[in-house]
A and B are shown apart, each in its own frame.
Chain A
Amino acid sequence: MSCFTSKYADELAKNAAYIGTPGKGILAADESTGTIGKRLSSINVENVEENRRALRELLFTAPGALQYLSGVILFEETLYQKTAAGKPFVDVLKEGGVLPGIKVDKGTVELNGTNGETFTQGLDGLAQRCQKYYEAGARFAKWRAVLKIGANEPTELAIQENANGLAMYAAICQQCGLVPIVEPEILVDGSHDIKKCAEVTERVLAACYKSLNDHHVMLEGTLLKPNMVTPGSESPKVAPEVIAEYTVRALQRTVPAAVPAIVFLSGGQSEEEATLNLNAMNKLQTKKPWSLSFSFGRALQQSTLKAWAGKEENLKKAQDALLLRCKANSEATLGTYKGDAKLGEGAAESLHVSNYKY
């Protein structure tokens, strides 16, 4: 807000706006060592550093893919890795016009006295870590807060703690030159309908923006990474146009115009679902003062992973699969996706995992 003071103010606003460039979005490749282990084991690949490095090299050097990306979120290990030829990943990305980002949270812990609600840790020494990451080339950060919908959830406690945590993280990032992606994910788990998801999403986002204001965060130098508004995982699905309507309305009611871009998480949707929903939002004829784009992990990598299967001879096939999804999502940010991306194996596969933990 007006009390915000940081030598990075202009740079933050510039980088946040760049990430929101229409036609581009974010690849979330920041799976922690444990989480990437699950992905690798699903294709029978051993979870060793070399394989983690090989996978990320596959992604970042996929011909033609980087033009559809404005940012890639990295895990700490990856920030310092290089290609097999010895080129730092950070340089590969920068040369491709892609800003490197860094996951800075340290996972969730349960809130005492609640029914499995959590808050996110990672504030200790955060400023020092952010400075290091900035020196290593990172220009934005990401911190995932998690809320759930239940009979009595989310509680006011969970909302306040997570909103406050996000705001503190965001303020520290800005002091260190990193654009904070604010991610208040409301899990899709449950049997609730889309109206319930909308109500909770509006309540959570309102609390987030009040906290950000309290903590003097400069909104022009932030991004929002919310869930789309959908029915619960155990409820009947609805059309993308319905998801688009409820989602955009929730955002109109809570996200100030100063925020340059909103980059959705895919939260277990299949690759194709996520793209169709994003496309429907961008086709909607209504007030949208922020650009609507993607920050997809699973929904960008699923078919790539399957095509690769850990084998060097599959490299080209895997990279083609990634290019396909990047291009499709790029079109979705412009509302021009025709749904004609050749579906790779697994593109229509739901990626929902109950009570998902990174």
Chain B
Amino acid sequence: MSAFVGKYAEELIKNAKYIATPGKGILAADESTGTIGKRLSSISVENIESNRQALRELLFTSPNALSYLSGVILFEETLYQKTSDGKPFVEVLEENNVIPGIKVDKGTVEIAGTNGETTTQGFDSLGARCQQYYKAGARFAKWRAVLKIGPNEPSELSIQQNAQGLARYAIICQENGLVPIVEPEVLTDGPHDIQKCAAVTETVLAAVYKALNEQHVLLEGTLLKPNMVTPGSDSPKVAAEVIAQYTVTALRRTVPPAVPGIVFLSGGQSEEEATLNLDAMNKLEVLKPWTLSFSFGRALQQSTLKTWAGKKENVPKAQEAFLSRCKANSEATLGKYGGGSAGGLASESLFVKGYKY
């Protein structure tokens, strides 16, 4: 085959397919220590390990929420944490049929000679780290590549570097039993229109799948985590149906049918926006050979975070807010979302310029 078929091939295919189960999606709870610090400070909570542990326990033990999730992406620290009762988080997830995943990249660095474009680091000892994570219970991984739209961006250099980086990360994961989520995020920052975003997204995705082919990645054992195709952050918004049309067209033009599922990033959209857009895509009457689901961070946790505010007495209410977003997005993957689970907090834009995790 063109594709690498190692000892984990069948398991990778099975796990990727499970994560892509209609009605389920991914909670991205892999904020690095620095990034989660920003979240916590926004609700005036100190960024110490016990608070980070408390937040994640709140999420993972939310009654009934896990039934809407097929996977949770964790940061390394969280992979080894436990509930206050002493139960490893990984076990909590596994018992509820949620596959633990692990962020394996080490952030972005600027590419010299470009206008602020970046490449992603994390290759050193990646294979060995993946093996360790597999032993700890992880079965999928995530690596975020970032591209921007500008007058001369994304440059061919940036596209090539990020595409090859994603492909290299992906094959190393597959060698070590982890399903790689391939995430080539095209940032929303900018005054460009939706057509521009579509053109760039198609170019980037074409480069990514060419690189994956070159490096013998087994597509049936991967997932894609792309941006939705939208107008730039400085441009007027458009209807969910328009976003759905452009996004699905871009994916139909670039993502081979062998990929079992596409799990969108929310990239600064409000909780409600992200859900409505995902729902519109799944309502679209056009042939889609992969499932369309979510891998949301901010768009699943925003109102939960605000409701919690770091106070133990707020936990049940916060967990209800979380359940509400999980259920809404589950319905969106089936094109059955009726709207109306948007509390005031759910409509709040989560856009942060030049967003870094």
Inter-subunit contact B289/A287 (CB<8 Å): yes
Q: How far is the CB of B315 from chain A (nearest CB, A)?
A: 43
A202 touches B213 (CB 8 A): yes
Residues of chain B within 8 A of A256, CB atoms compared = 252-257
Q: From residue B194, how far is it (CB to closest CB) to chain A in Å?
A: 10
**With A203-B2, A252-B256 in contact, do A257 and B213 touch (Cβ < 8 Å)?**
no
Chain A stretch 250-265: residues in CB contact (< 8 A) with chain B: 250-258
Any B CB within 8 A of the CB of A289: yes
**CB neighbours of B326 from chain A (8 A):** none
A202-B1 in contact (CB<8A): yes
B203:A1 contact, CB within 8 angstroms: yes
Q: Which of A1, A210, A220, A289 contacts B257 (CB 8 A)?
A: A289
Answer whether residue B58 sits at the interface, using C-beta atoms and an 8 A cutoff.
no
**When the two chains form the complex, which single residue of B2, B195, B252, B254 contacts A253, counting CB atoms closer than 8 Å?**
B2
Query: Least Cβ distance of B209 to chain A in Å?
Result: 7
User: Which residues of chain B have C-beta atoms less than 8 A from A2's C-beta?
Assistant: 195, 198-199, 202, 250
Complex Cα spacing A214 to B205, Å: 12
Query: With A and B bound together, what is the CA distance between A2 and B289 in angstroms?
Result: 21
Q: Is A249 an interface residue (CB 8 A)?
A: yes
Q: Are B199 and A3 in contact, with the CB atoms below 8 A?
A: yes
Interface residues of B in 26-44 (CB under 8 A from A): none
By the criterion CB–CB under 8 Å, are B210 and A258 in contact? no
Whether A206 contacts B210 by the Cβ 8 Å rule is yes
A213 interface residue (CB < 8 Å to B)? yes
Q: Which of A198, A210, A257 has the most CB of B within 10 A?
A: A257
B147, chain A: closest CB distance, angstroms: 15
B213-A254 in contact (CB<8A): yes
What residues of chain B lie closer than 8 Å to A252, measured between beta carbons? 256-258, 289
Query: Known: A257-B289, A287-B289. Is A210-B207 also a contact (CB below 8 A)?
Result: yes
List CB contacts (< 8 Å) of A117-175 with chain B. Answer: none
Question: Considering only CB atoms, which chain B residue lies closest to A213 in the complex?
Answer: B206
Partner of A258, one of B195, B199, B252, B258: B252
A195 to B287, CA, bound (A): 29
Residue of A nearest to B202 (CB): A1
CA distance A249 to B257 in the complex (A): 9
Q: How large is the interface on A (under 10, 10 to 19, 20 to 34, 35 or more residues)?
A: 20 to 34
Interface centre among A195, A198, A210 (most CB of B within 10 A): A210
B interface residues, how many (CB within 8 angstroms): 27
Q: Cβ of A199 and Cβ of B199 under 8 Å apart?
A: no
Cβ of A198 and Cβ of B203 under 8 Å apart? no
Of B202, B214, B288, which is within 8 A of A213 by CB?
B202
Contact B2 A202 (CB under 8 A): yes
Residues of B within 8 A of A45 (CB): none
Does chain A have a CB within 8 A of B96?
no
- Bound form: Cα–Cα A206–B253 in Å: 13
Assess A258 versus B253: contact at CB under 8 Å? Given A3-B199, A202-B2, A289-B287: yes
Within 8 Å of chain B (Cβ to Cβ): is A337?
no
Q: Determine whether the beta carbon of B203 is less than 8 Å from that of A213.
A: yes
Please name the residue on chain B nearest to A1 by beta carbon: B202
Residue-wise interface mask of A (285-317) relative to B, using a CB-CB cutoff of 8 A (1 in contact, 0 not): 001110000000000000000000000000000
- With both chains docked as a complex, state the minimum distance between the C-beta of A241 and any C-beta of chain B, in angstroms: 18
Tell me whether A289 and B2 are in contact (CB under 8 A).
no
A68 within 8 A of B: no
Cα A289 to Cα B258 in complex, Å, equals 11
Residue of B nearest to A250 (CB): B2
Q: B253–A219 contact, CB under 8 A?
A: yes
Give CA–CA (A258, B206) in the complex, Å: 13
Chain B residues, Cβ within 8 Å of A210: 206-207, 209-210
A1 to B257, CA, bound (A): 18
Chain B, range 229-273, C-beta contacts under 8 Å to A? 249-250, 252-258
Note all chain B residues with C-beta closer than 8 A to A258: 249, 252-253
Contact with A along B261-299 (1 / 0, CB 8 A): 000000000000000000000000001110000000000
Cα of A254 to Cα of B258 in the assembled complex, Å: 8
> How many angstroms from the CA of A210 to the CA of B255 in the assembled complex?
11
Partner of B1, one of A199, A207, A254: A199
How far is it, in angstroms, between the C-alpha of A198 and the C-alpha of B1 when the chains are bound?
Answer: 6
Write the nearest CB–CB distance from B290 to chain A, whole angstroms: 8
- The digit string for B301-337, where 1 denotes a CB below 8 A from any CB of A, is 0000000000000000000000000000000000000
Asked if A199 and B289 make an inter-chain contact with CB atoms under 8 angstroms apart, the answer reads: no
What 1/0 flags go to B189-200 for Cβ under 8 Å of A? Answer: 000000100110
Instruction: Quote the shortest CB–CB distance from B62 to chain A (angstroms).
Output: 34
For the complex, is B219 an interface residue (Cβ under 8 Å from A)? yes
Chain A, residue nearest B260 (CB): A287
**For the complex, is B93 an interface residue (Cβ under 8 Å from A)?**
no
CB distance from B238 to the nearest CB of A (A): 15
CB pair B199 A1 closer than 8 Å: yes
B258 adjacent to A249 (CB under 8 Å): yes
Instruction: Check if B3 is an interface residue, CB within 8 A of chain A.
Output: yes
A254 to B3, CA, bound (A): 12
Contacts of B254 in A (CB 8 A): 213, 256
In the assembled complex, which residues on chain B have CB atoms less than 8 Å from the CB atom of A213?
Answer: 202-203, 206, 253-254
Complexed CA–CA distance, A210 and B195 (Å) = 20
A255 touches B2 (CB 8 A): no
CA distance A312 to B195 in the complex (A): 59
Taking A210-B209, A252-B256 as known contacts, 15 extra A-B pairs with beta carbons closer than 8 A to each other, sorted by chain A number, are A1-B203, A1-B206, A2-B198, A199-B2, A203-B2, A206-B2, A209-B210, A214-B206, A220-B253, A252-B258, A252-B289, A256-B253, A256-B256, A258-B249, A289-B252
Identify 18 residue pairs between A and B in the complex whose beta-carbon atoms are under 8 Å apart, listed by A's number: A2-B195, A199-B2, A202-B3, A203-B213, A206-B2, A206-B210, A206-B214, A213-B206, A213-B253, A213-B254, A253-B213, A253-B219, A255-B256, A255-B257, A256-B257, A257-B252, A257-B257, A258-B249
Rank and list the top 7 A-B pairs by shortest CB-CB distance, nearest first: A202-B2, A2-B199, A213-B206, A206-B213, A210-B210, A252-B258, A2-B198
Residues of chain B touching chain A, judged by Cβ–Cβ distance below 8 Å, are 1-3, 195, 198-199, 202-203, 206-207, 209-210, 213-214, 219, 249-250, 252-258, 287-289
